[in-house]
Amino acid sequence: MANLSKVLYNNVLRDATTVTYSGTETSGFEKENATDFLDWTLFRTSSGSTTLDFTVGTDTDLDSVSAYVKTVGGTNSIALQYESSVSAFTTLQTYSAPSGSLTFDTFNSVTVSSGRRIRFSIVSATSIDIRQLWAGEYMEFQRGQWATATPPTLTQGIKVSNNISVNGSFLGRSIKRTERSGKISLEHLTQDWVRDTWEPFADHCARSPFVYLWSDNTAYSSEVGYCFAENIVVPKNAGNSFMSVEMPLRMLVADSEAP
């Protein structure tokens, strides 16, 4: 049994011609931090109702969104909207109380016309610290991975070492937390898909992280990872005009541990 995977890596927010925030920015927590591909920087919102707008320079398709939010308190929500007509906004996805979460959701594709805005409407009783916001079109793998594939969100462990002194006295144990890891492994792929879809994704992964929904199986449908490639493996010819690809991964964060 195989399962399909989806990734969101082409963040159209980064291509915006202008970015405006209706609230007051805090020094060191500016709006640019929300789309910089760095998981340790933060965009801090003002309390109350504010908007973060991205004006697109070309017709832009959207069918997915991801929000990576630091733990916050109080009542809050983040809604993705687009300017469907001049100064009229349609809501595509709403996150209620997204406290300490990493999310990835899809919806029916829409097109944001050139010169119009993609908006995050933010309502909060207190300020919210946001690590990353993504919006764009998701990429779905052409083939599924076998059900025996190890979920990268489940493979975090520890390494235990026993320490002794030079005279053999036991000094105790040290415990090292190991990173979550996994691997994308796909077979029986058409050459066109590898060249047109996989190669741009792999080129992105050589420099930047991505959001990874590893399985569409209902048992794991909420397991989302913020990942980077450990290395880029050259695609291989598998015979009969098909190819195979693989990419070892490291998980910066999984949905269950978003800080």
Based on the domain organization, do 92 and 175 belong to the same domain? no
For 238, the domain range is: 145-257
Tens of pLDDT, residues 141-170: 998 876 656 666 655 566 777 888 778 777
In a domain, 5, yes or no: no
Mean pLDDT of 168-182: 70
From start to end of the chain, where are the E strands?
2-3, 6-8, 18-21, 43-44, 48-55, 60-69, 76-85, 88-96, 101-112, 117-124, 129-136, 139-140, 145-146, 157-164, 170-178, 180-190, 210-213, 224-229, 236-239, 242-254
In a domain, 122, yes or no: yes
Between 218 and 255, the more confident residue is 255
pLDDT score at 252:
74
Residue whose C-alpha is closest to residue 51's, from 118, 98, 121:
121
Based on the domain organization, do 84 and 17 belong to the same domain? yes
- Residue 9 pLDDT > 80: yes
The count of C-alpha atoms lying within 13 angstroms of the C-alpha of 90, restricted to the half-sphere facing its C-beta, is: 13
Residues in the chain: 259
Based on the domain organization, do 151 and 109 belong to the same domain? no
Tens of pLDDT, residues 195-208: 999 999 999 999 99
Task: Tell me the C-alpha distance between 145 and 2, whole Å.
Answer: 5
Based on the domain organization, do 19 and 123 belong to the same domain? yes
Q: Output the pTM of the full model.
A: 0.84
**Residues 121, 133 contacting (CB under 8 angstroms):** no
Based on the domain organization, do 108 and 172 belong to the same domain? no
Task: Tell me the C-alpha distance between 10 and 188, whole Å.
Answer: 25
Q: How many domains does the chain have?
A: 2
In a domain, 194, yes or no: yes
Based on the domain organization, do 220 and 175 belong to the same domain? yes
Based on the domain organization, do 149 and 127 belong to the same domain? no
In a domain, 169, yes or no: yes
Confidence of residue 138 (pLDDT cuts 50, 70, 90): very high
Between 50 and 226, the more confident residue is 50
**Residues 131, 69 contacting (CB under 8 angstroms):** yes
Based on the domain organization, do 158 and 211 belong to the same domain? yes
The residue from 138, 164, 194 where one domain ends is: 138
pLDDT score at 190:
94
φ and ψ at residue 216, rounded to 5 degrees: -95, 5
The residue from 104, 138, 172 where one domain ends is: 138
Confidence of residue 222 (pLDDT cuts 50, 70, 90): low
pLDDT score at 1:
44
In a domain, 2, yes or no: no
